[in-house]
Chain A
Amino acid sequence: MNTVLPRIAARNLLRQKKRTILLAGAIAFGIMIVTLINGFAGSFIQNVSENFAYLLGGHVFVSGSEYTASGRRISVIRDDSVIMQALSSSGQRWASLQKTSETTATLIFEGKSIRQNLTGIDLAHSTMLKERLALINGSWDNLAWPNAIIVSQSVAKKLNVLPGDTIVAQFQTVTGQNNVGEFRLAAVTVDSTSFIGSIMTYVQLDYLNSLIGLGKGEYMSLGIMLDKLDRSEAFATSLYTSMKGMGLKLFDRSTRESDGSMTPFQAMIQKQNSETWTGTKYRVYTVDDVLAQAKQIVVALDTGSVAILIVLFAIVMIGISNSFRMAMYERIREIGTMRAVGVQRGEIRSMFLYEALFLALAGAVVGIILALIVMAILSLITFDPQSPVFLILKRGHLSFYLPPLRALGNIAIIAVLTLVAVYAPANAAAKMPPAEALRTVK
């Protein structure tokens, strides 16, 4: 392989250090911005979905709905034996199951009160809690208490409660009657390490059920945690088919709004509001169905990054093209000499194109390294757990994920664009007659 031309090209770049640094810097800045956007978009949906998956207690969900005698619709799964059979016969694997009931309550302690969403789960046997939550006060052993409650650090501070204290809760039953319960504070979770811990209040499922008018063994929603988020849709489809095969009444999963104004989950709920049925009817949905609009944000971010890439590089390419045209005139006698000693036109063109390629690659690599450094610095910032951006964070920090193929794609785009920008001056240099080039006086 002829390495003379690449070496000359590299030497030419080093001869004009200032110009090279400015041009490569412009490329590096552009690619850094685009890489940051790509990295943020890459982890955005992952973080939102994972946060919601743990917030809701699963990647795939089954919930039941039935009408009371007076026509009020309530959310309940009374007997899950057929659902469990359907799960087994679906042939799919899952990491854990979580049965939950929920209500919104006012927690009261010695004159202080706060509104919270209470999630009833089997506290003593939940692996998810121990995996995701860190305790600042209390003990996991306290979760055996029949009326145990876990609150976040901020809620404990607001109510001024300590483990062992009895918190009174005021809420409504599933049919809308007012009721009161007494919960014993088992543990306080650390806000700063977990988004989930900062907003969730967990109580014993059986105790909550007895207070909101559900029977023992009944619950509102079954959350199925999978080993990977991207298996959610396939799992839900398989479970839906399996449940339908077992003769359960199911809401149609194909309900979608074509104009994108609603998530598939919202569209499904709206359609269900116009339906009536007898007995329990089930809905199967995924965390992605709930978060479809978040995916639109990712698409918007990706489209935006491509637009930024094009605009930034259109500007940079004009600069590069002009710089290489200037370089050609500066080296016109040199080109004439090279041509006079037998260097071919194509080789002159290649020499310029090699220069452009090296410049693009160096700028792109530096840009990506800079982006990685900025990402690392940004990920060190700890955000307030109560801030609204917390849902897009990973354990309280910004996180980035840059798909390798996307990074390579960006480098390739830059390389091609630079070669296109430099082709015209390179071609002009190649076509220059040697005698005329040698006669030219700068």
Chain B
Amino acid sequence: MPSISTKGHRYHRKNIAVLLAIALSLVAGVASAQGKPDPRALLKQVDNLSDFTGRDFSAVFTIVTQKPGEKDSVTQARVFRRDQKKQFLILILLPEVNKGQGYLREDDNVWFYDPTSRKFSHSSVKENLQNTKAKNSDFTLSSFAEDYTVTSMTEGMVGKFPVWVLDLKANTNEVAYDRVVLYIRKDPTMLLKREDYSVNGRLMRTTAYPKYVELEGKLLPSQILILDEINKGEKSQITMAEQSVTPLPDKVFTKAFLEQVSR
């Protein structure tokens, strides 16, 4: 019998070891799951940072664009947004020669207004704003969670900040960039860097968000640096000022208003 008893003890010890291993792995798994957020939820958090649904938003953006061999150009625009109705109005204030030009978004249509010809022409959120590296879409709320699927999520560092690196693939062939890589600071959640890739996988644009301001409980980038990765040396720096969530009259988001303020 002792031999049986010894064998029984051996089986018992083995079972305990297996159970312990399972328990430890479960604990580790749970711990890991608690530390790694759901990528989609993280994307929605990033989208929410720029979402002013239910409120109006306005600010003045100054864009300094540098191109090799050319003098720095300064573009200034006042942006009015009503996210609930997917509306925006961008009114160019500088340079003087383009003063009065504007972009008006109504649903998915973007109109460009030229006060010289007094005509509206069709534009797009994917177009660059004037002669800068910024696109019209850079002044609207982002929709990463809707437009992209996360293909990978890793940890990394941007400067001294630990970040989640989300590699995104476009859900349709109609968003501006087919692949986007986001560098999202872990705590608090805020976008620190973004890389935009072409359809054939070439890095086209890197955007850094070094400064944020708080507005009505939301963190907004007050400084944005856009680097053109195709035409090296070309870059734009955007700074935001006079940000406000004061309600705007409905007429602001009309062609008539754009024509009136452009005079």
- Interface residues, chain A, with chain B CB atoms under 8 Å away: 68-70, 72, 106, 108, 111-113, 168, 170, 172-173, 175-181, 211, 213
Contact = CB atoms under 8 A, between A and B. Distances in A.
Given A111-B68, A111-B69, A177 B232 contact: no
Contacts of B154: none
Given A108-B231, A111-B233, A178-B126, A173 B204 contact: no
Contacts of B174: 68, 70, 72, 175-177
A200 B126 CA distance: 25
B19 interface: no
User: Most B CB atoms within 10 A — which of A113, A176, A178?
Assistant: A178
B69 A213 contact: no
B176 interface: yes
Nearest to B177: A178
A158 to B, nearest CB: 12
B198 interface: yes
Contacts of B126: 172, 176, 178
A179 B233 contact: no
Given A178-B198, A179-B200, A168 B177 contact: no
Chain B interface, >50% SS class:
loop
Contacts of A177: 170, 173-178, 198-199
A106 B124 CA distance: 17
A169 B124 CA distance: 20
A176 B173 CA distance: 8
A72 B175 CA distance: 12
A307 to B, nearest CB: 30
Interface string B99-119: 000000000000000000000
A112 B196 CA distance: 21
Given A70-B174, A108-B230, A181-B200, 13 more contacts: A68-B174, A69-B172, A72-B174, A106-B231, A113-B234, A175-B174, A176-B124, A176-B126, A176-B174, A178-B199, A180-B198, A180-B204, A213-B173
B233 A213 contact: no
Contact of B173 (A168, A173, A180): A173
A166 to B, nearest CB: 13
B204 A178 contact: yes
20 contacts: A70-B174, A72-B174, A106-B231, A108-B230, A108-B231, A112-B69, A113-B231, A168-B230, A170-B231, A175-B172, A175-B173, A178-B178, A178-B196, A178-B199, A178-B204, A179-B199, A180-B198, A180-B204, A211-B199, A211-B200
